[in-house]
């Protein structure tokens, strides 16, 4: 027996399709199919069938409907195993013995995603499309208990259609894509992937001006209506087209295809093994995990490695949403619906669209660089966490999101060499090893030796074990010896510049890293931060209150403001026995 949900709900047996009679039995079958072989609790079935005011006989009525459905299925295939199984707290369909068209569709999609041959990929995607016979769950798609499952299947179908366009472009069949893509971008005006495909198709057809005009249109629409810029991928494609004359750009790999080994970050993530081990466990059990820490501590890089380490955990994959480029709070919703390819409909709010669009999907949502848009972001995250149990959110931010179910992991500086450490010990620390690795990347002749190990160790200590600061210092070794860098650390903002262009202006210089966080402080927080600069090292709260308080910042305000500065990763709190002392990073 084969169960059908990719169209009207029904079954195929002995080569013929049977659509069950309308009524509660058919709805129960649809709800069990939405469970995809997992147990669907009796409570959930009662809620789906009778809403918030079920009759007092609801449980008995449910048992009766299930019994009738079981007999109906057995009568359709009397010689086959019983497909409807009872469990202590609910019911499920045995989809290991019986077929299910949605599973067949997903299996074909998986094969297509793994294929590197565009012809094979196209054939598999066409076969997957043949599984469909209308909208998912047919006339039951609008049932409250089925809307999220139906939308999820429809989104997978849309993604498969986009993968098919990629395969056609890879095969040089751009004429076919130009017959369908204009309708797609008209129906989904914020779909950046479809716009990128249309740009590629135009270039392949020799219509470079049309490709550039397509980019300008989507850029204007995204900025005016969502308050965001196009994604780095779409901007990169635009620049690629601008640089060429008639040579078409290479066809893109499917977004689900793993990147080529040569494009992956090849260097190890030093000093973070324990972080990865613990956080991987957290992600399997928590709904929201936030990595916090000052700028340049390596939150994004740690999150990327966590994604690599746990990617296989998520049935529906990992979706990254970079927020650093969002210009204002109004652009947050636009960034989320763009990343998730979800469109509000019927007057939905962005939050409602996100919850209904994610539905019962099982995925990891990576929100990177949240600190400047927290007020606008947290309502969306709270709704997703509450309404989408299969979604786990991993956030990076210089302060926590302050939601009740949040687990916070402060990302700490790298271990640094002790004063007077021998060369081997300097190299054995994560900070010393990172310095050598980055220095050799710009100057292959660089060696960590007995003559420069002391200076390297001092650099690592005075740069607080901050990975970005160490990398910026190491990048200068092509022009300045480590000892010369140590002598100039009092002018570190001038010396430690020239960071990676692809990671944005915030990481181009050490000064920009600090300024980004400082500019986000409230006026009183910034004032206290300025006053803390008079302390040469760590100080207890009482000393800070005595030195920093005045009529503008009365003593009673100091503790609360200090707590905010600690939360925002601008001040370090360190234990001193049973007390705490507070200090600024040396930078």
Each of the 587 residues of the chain gets a pLDDT tens digit; together they read 889 999 999 898 887 888 776 678 889 999 999 888 888 888 888 888 888 788 889 889 999 999 988 888 888 878 777 889 888 888 998 888 788 999 899 889 888 888 888 899 999 999 999 999 999 999 888 888 888 788 778 878 888 898 999 999 999 898 999 999 999 888 888 788 889 999 999 998 889 899 999 999 988 887 777 666 787 778 888 888 888 744 344 444 334 333 333 334 446 788 888 899 899 889 988 899 999 999 889 999 999 999 988 888 888 889 999 888 787 767 888 888 888 888 777 677 889 889 988 888 889 999 999 998 999 999 999 999 999 988 999 999 999 999 988 999 999 999 999 999 999 999 999 999 999 999 998 888 899 999 999 999 999 999 999 999 999 899 888 888 999 999 988 877 777 765 554 444 455 677 888 888 888 899 999 999 999 999 988 999 999 999 999 999 999 999 999 999 999 889 999 888 888 999 998 88
Q: Which of 513, 537, 569 is the last residue of a domain?
A: 513
Residues 555 and 464 grouped into a single domain: no
| Spatial distance between the Cα atoms of 36 and 467, rounded to a whole number of angstroms | 45
CB 440 within 8 A of CB 433: no
Q: What's the confidence (pLDDT) of residue 249?
A: 42
Task: Say if strands 406-410 and 572-576 run parallel, antiparallel, or are unpaired.
Answer: unpaired
Residue reference for tokens 């079920």: 54
| Inside any domain, residue 261 | no
- Calculate the alpha carbon distances from 519 to 515, 526, 550, 585, 587 in Å: 6, 8, 23, 17, 16
CATH of the domain at 278: 3.40.50.300
Residues whose CB is less than 8 angstroms from the CB of residue 183 and which lie 6 or more positions away in sequence, other chains included? none
| Inside any domain, residue 416 | no
Give the burial class of 220: count Cβ atoms within 10 A of its Cβ; 0-12 exposed, 13-18 middle, 19 or more buried.
exposed
Element of type H or E holding 155: helix 147-170
Backbone angles phi, psi at 272, to 5 degrees: -120, 15
| Spatial distance between the Cα atoms of 37 and 95, rounded to a whole number of angstroms | 6
Domain that holds residue 279: 273-410
Residues 377 and 449 grouped into a single domain: no
Residues 432 and 358 grouped into a single domain: no
- What's the domain count of the chain? 5
CATH of the domain at 48: 1.10.10.10
Residues 387 and 324 grouped into a single domain: yes
Phi-psi region at 550: left, alpha or beta (left = phi > 0; alpha = psi -120 to 50): beta
Phi-psi region at 341: left, alpha or beta (left = phi > 0; alpha = psi -120 to 50): left
Q: What's the confidence (pLDDT) of residue 529?
A: 96
| Spatial distance between the Cα atoms of 289 and 437, rounded to a whole number of angstroms | 30
| Inside any domain, residue 119 | yes
Task: Say if strands 10-13 and 16-18 run parallel, antiparallel, or are unpaired.
Answer: antiparallel
Residues 95 and 108 grouped into a single domain: no
């Amino acid at each position: 027996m084969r169960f059908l949900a990719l169209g009207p709900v029904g079954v195929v047996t002995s080569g013929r399709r049977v659509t069950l009679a309308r009524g509660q039995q058919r709805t129960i079958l649809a709800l069990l199919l939405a469970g995809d072989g997992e147990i669907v609790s009796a409570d959930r079935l009662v809620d789906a069938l009778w809403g918030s005011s079920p009759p007092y006989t609801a449980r008995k009525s449910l048992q009766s409907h299930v019994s009738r459905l079981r007999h109906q299925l057995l009568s359709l295939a009397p010689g086959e195993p019983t497909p409807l199984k009872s469990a202590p707290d609910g019911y499920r369909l045995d989809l290991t013995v019986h077929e299910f068209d949605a599973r067949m569709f997903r299996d074909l999609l998986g094969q297509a995603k793994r294929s590197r041959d565009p012809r094979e990929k196209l054939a598999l995607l066409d076969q997957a499309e043949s599984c469909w016979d209308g909208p998912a769950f047919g006339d039951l798609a609008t049932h409250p208990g089925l809307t999220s499952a139906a939308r999820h299947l429809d989104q997978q179908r849309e993604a498969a259609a986009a993968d098919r366009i990629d395969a056609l472009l890879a095969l040089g069949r751009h004429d076919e894509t130009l017959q369908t893509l204009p309708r797609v971008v008209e129906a989904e005006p914020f779909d950046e992937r479809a716009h990128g495909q249309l740009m590629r198709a135009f270039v392949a057809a020799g219509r470079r001006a049309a490709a550039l005009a397509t980019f300008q249109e989507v850029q204007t629409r995204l900025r005016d209506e969502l308050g965001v810029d196009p994604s780095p991928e779409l901007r990169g494609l635009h620049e690629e087209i601008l640089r060429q004359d008639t040579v078409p750009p290479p066809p893109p790999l499917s977004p689900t295809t793993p990147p080529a080994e040569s494009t992956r970050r090849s260097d190890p993530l030093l000093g973070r093994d324990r972080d990865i081990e613990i956080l991987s466990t957290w992600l399997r059990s928590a709904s929201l995990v936030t990595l916090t820490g000052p700028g340049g501590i390596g939150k994004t890089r740690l999150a990327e490695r966590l994604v690599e380490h746990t990617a296989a955990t998520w049935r529906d994959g990992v979706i990254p949403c970079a927020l650093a480029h969002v210009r204002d709070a109004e652009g947050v919703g636009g960034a989320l619906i763009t990343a998730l390819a979800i469109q509000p409909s019927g007057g939905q709010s962005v939050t409602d669209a996100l919850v209904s669009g994610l539905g019962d999907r099982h995925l990891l949502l990576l929100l990177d660089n949240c600190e400047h848009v927290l007020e606008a972001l947290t309502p969306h995250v709270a709704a997703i966490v509450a309404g989408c149990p299969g979604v786990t959110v991993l956030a990076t931010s210089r302060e926590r999101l302050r939601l009740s179910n949040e687990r916070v992991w402060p990302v700490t500086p790298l271990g640094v060499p002790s004063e007077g450490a021998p060369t081997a010990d300097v190299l054995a620390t994560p900070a010393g090893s990172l310095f050598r690795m980055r220095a050799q990347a710009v100057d292959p002749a660089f060696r960590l030796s007995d003559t420069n190990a002391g200076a390297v160790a001092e650099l690592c200590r005075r740069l607080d074990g901050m990975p970005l600061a160490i990398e910026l210092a190491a990048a200068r070794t092509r022009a300045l010896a480590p000892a010369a860098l140590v002598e100039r650390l009092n002018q570190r903002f001038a010396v430690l510049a020239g960071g990676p262009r692809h990671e944005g202006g915030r990481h181009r210089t050490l000064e920009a890293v600090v300024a980004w966080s400082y500019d986000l402080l409230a006026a009183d927080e910034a004032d206290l931060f300025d006053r803390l600069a008079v302390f040469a090292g760590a100080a207890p709260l009482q000393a800070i209150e005595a030195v920093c308080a005045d009529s503008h910042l009365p003593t009673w305000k100091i503790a609360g403001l200090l707590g905010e500065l600690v939360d925002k990763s601008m001040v370090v709190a360190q234990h001193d026995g049973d007390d705490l002392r507070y200090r600024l990073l040396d930078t």
